[in-house]
Amino acid sequence: MEAASEELEGVDPDPSWRGVVRYNLACAYALAGRTERALEELRLAFRLNSSLMEWSQQDTDLAPLHNLTEFTDLVGR
């Protein structure tokens, strides 16, 4: 997933697109139990595309993060 993300980021330099790529990588990390790495990728994704914040709160791929203080701080809840 990491290699695919690097390639996908190169498809379009638009920050919004790059944010989507990073967001999907965060989802993969969350599902794999790599919480810290998922949060790191989400921070970057939200800086690049803040519109992803709202969806992240209901995204089942990110369910392992939803009750974490770090996640709720990140999304402003």
Domain boundaries, the chain: 2-75
Quick check: 66 and 75 in contact, CB under 8 A? no
pLDDT at 3: 67
Q: What is d(CA 23, CA 35) in angstroms, rounded to the nearest whole number?
A: 13
pLDDT band at 1 (very low <50, low <70, confident <90, very high): confident
Q: Check pLDDT > 70 for residue 36.
A: yes
Q: What is the pLDDT of residues 41-76, one digit of tens each?
A: 999 999 999 999 999 999 999 999 999 999 999 998
Q: What tokens does 4 get? A: 């695919």
pLDDT tens for 4-17 read: 777 677 677 788 98
User: Which residue intervals of the chain are DSSP H helices?
Assistant: 2-9, 15-31, 35-48, 52-56, 69-75
Residue 33 has what pLDDT? 97
